[in-house]
Structure 1
Amino acid sequence: MDWLTRMNRAMDYIEMNLTGEIELAKVAREACCSSYEFQRMFSFITDVTLAEYIRRRRLTLAALELQNNAAAKIIDIALQYGYESPVSFARAFQLLHGVTPAMARQDGTALKAYPRLSFLIAIKGAEAMNYRIESKEAFQVFGIEGVYQTNPDSEDQHTPAQMWQQNHANGEVERLAANAGDLPAFMSSDLYKVHAVCSYKPTGDDAFPYMLCAFKSESSQTDGYSTITIPAHTWAIFASDPFTWDAFNEVIETLYRRFFTEWLPTAGYEQVDGLDFEIYGGSGGLNYVELWFAVRKTA
């Protein structure tokens, strides 16, 4: 089953369950990936979170129900689309549509409609993507790890970006760099010592692991750190052009988006369990980033 078919099957599941419970783990299983991987792909492809898309679709259908079914009570429509009270429903409805549910029933009221999304291959510009395919034997990394929630209703809303900020502020990133030792022979000499790896072990349907990591070598000092083994994989590696740090967010988001929307749907590969590295390097006052995606050829 190809990438587009899997993604559209996940969207079918969402559409069929807008008036019921939508299990994010079930959405991901329809797409044959983890919950984190699906939500990540979805956000990069659509520029909106999965939770926000579901909210918009439900409120779009709720508006149609208000207009087309005058006998239906607002509280019943609120419950039908996942809101526990008319107050929370009215607040969300007005935030999206700019009017209250009661006003939506008046003739001539302007409302917003968000149609169902479908995934397809689109012809885009002729800008080249710089990538390479490399096979690497198993290797080890070590560092500071955290587990993060993908469930939008979770009380734990910490992010990897906050992890970077905290560990820069307390000096742990610099300490990890000092303990990294020599880079392995398969790494470029102009790479920095601290990188990041994501989705390298199972953590449940609604969570993903993330580590600020260094590559382990004979000169590394690993005491006090978590150490993980990355199995042998084929890697699709995408490198950015040189940039200054103030452009980092735009650069890395563009790389991720182009991987998910332009390369992955047509390359004959699929990502392996969402595993990827963010590898940082630079010289001459400029920086670059490489995204390493563990991939395998599709059948």
Structure 2
Amino acid sequence: MEWIERLNKAINYIEEHITEEIDYEQVAKVACCSTYHFQRMFAYMANVPLSEYIRRRRMSLAAVDLQNGGEKIIDVALKYGYTSPTAFNRAFQSIHGVAPSVVKESTIPLRAFTPISFKISIKGAEEMIYRIEKKDSFRIVGVAQPLNKEIEKNFEIVPQMWQKAAMDGTVQKLVTMMDTPLAGILGVSVCNSLEDWRYFIAVASTKAIDDTLEEYMVQPFTWAIFSGEGQCPQAIQELEKRIVTEWLPTSGYEYDNGPDVEVYLNEDPMNAKFEVWIPVKKK
């Protein structure tokens, strides 16, 4: 319940600062987790990315301001952070389907998005297979690419990375470098609060690397490790959603400030076997 209360406090913070530039790091601090993990939790639980939720709330409030009259469109645009009338008009139309200039007409239908509120929903009819393990640090080697601080923008970056790595022989090369008990191709999101965000396609290895690869030391953590199988990426995304919405709120654990790790145990994306590792600590 404490975890849900933190999320709701974060929503209250957003509402209190809705006319200002929302500092994602500060929102995440209110929720007592990293910026990356807060955005992931929010998107899974609200079924909408954090940036889109904020946009919907602002445009809902902007519509009310315009309906009440008295304020110029440019003033309302500036109030909600739009210095360009064109950008405000585009954002407003994307939500309401009409231009802000016609809102004062009483017959115009508008959309209202009220503040979200989180609560625990009792689920659990379908089992989740997991284990808790403490692991020492381990070295990964592979290819990496910077990630955007708004995580929904990475939904194009990461699939393109995997496609390129499969086509140019990188995955096959990495397979030959695996020499630790952690077998499998890894997808590692290094998105803690201390480092630049990066995504690795890698393996755990002690071997030397050439200039086409990078190395990274994953620090010691306690991991909640979940097993799954099915067609990817849908199956792994569904498992990650269930971890956040079903397991985490009542587990007695919360996110620690470490990377998320996906372990792909076979090479068939249509019938994949995989693990999802999330860094956790006791509440």
Paired position in structure 1 for 2:27: 27
Extract unaligned runs of 5+ from structure 2.
Answer: none
Residue 133 (structure 2) aligns with: 134
Query: SS at 1:123's partner residue?
Result: coil
Give how far 1:203 is off.
5.2
Listed as ranges, the matches of 1:109-120 within 5 Å are 109-120=108-119
Q: Does 1:292 align with 2:281?
A: no
Post-superposition offset of 1:91: 1.8
Q: State the SS of the aligned residue for 1:150.
A: coil
What is the TM-score of this pair, normalised by structure 1?
0.85
Residues 88, 169 of structure 1: alpha-carbon distance in 2 compared, 3 angstrom cutoff: same
With 229-238 and 263-272 compared, the bigger mean Cα shift is at 229-238
Paired letter, 1:20? E
Alignment of 1:48-197 (within 5 A): 48-68=48-68, 70-124=69-123, 126-151=125-150, 159-180=157-178, 182-184=179-181, 187=182, 191-192=183-184, 194-197=185-188
Whole-angstrom CA distance in 1 between matches of 2:152 and 2:73:
24
Q: TM-score normalized by structure 2?
A: 0.89
Give a deviation string over 1:112-166, Cα, whole Å, max 9, x none: 1111112211123522211111222332222222221214899x99622222222
More helix by share: 2
Deviation at 1:37, TM superposition (A): 1.9
Q: In 1, are the aligned partners of 2:188 and 2:259 still within 8 Å (CA)?
A: yes
**1:205-250 C-alpha deviation (Å, 9 max, x unpaired):** xx52221111125xx3434433333233221111113x2xxx2121
Corresponding pairs, count: 281
Q: 1:125 and 1:45 mapped to 2: Cα distance?
A: 16
Report the CA distance between 1:170 and its aligned residue: 2.0
Residue in 2 that maps onto 1:271 = 255
Structure 1 residues 106 and 17: alpha-carbon distance in aligned structure 2, compared to 1, 3 A threshold = same
Counterpart CA distance in 1 for 2:81 and 2:172 is 46
1:263 Cα deviation from its structure 2 partner: 0.8
Q: Would the alpha carbon gap of residues 3 and 236 (structure 1) be closer, same or farther in structure 2, given more than 3 Å must change?
A: same
Counterpart residue type for residue 240 of structure 1: G
Identity of aligned residues (%): 40
- CA distance in 2 between counterparts of 1:292 and 1:210 reads 15
- Give how far 1:274 is off: 4.3
In structure 2, relative to structure 1, the CA distance for the partners of 1:203 and 1:168 (3 Å cut) is: farther
Match of 1:208 among 197, 201, 207: 197
Residue 232 and residue 153 in structure 1: after superposition, are their counterparts in 2 closer, same or farther (change >3 A)? closer
- Structure 1, 112-121 or 157-166: larger mean CA deviation: 157-166
Contiguous gaps of at least 5 residues in structure 1: none
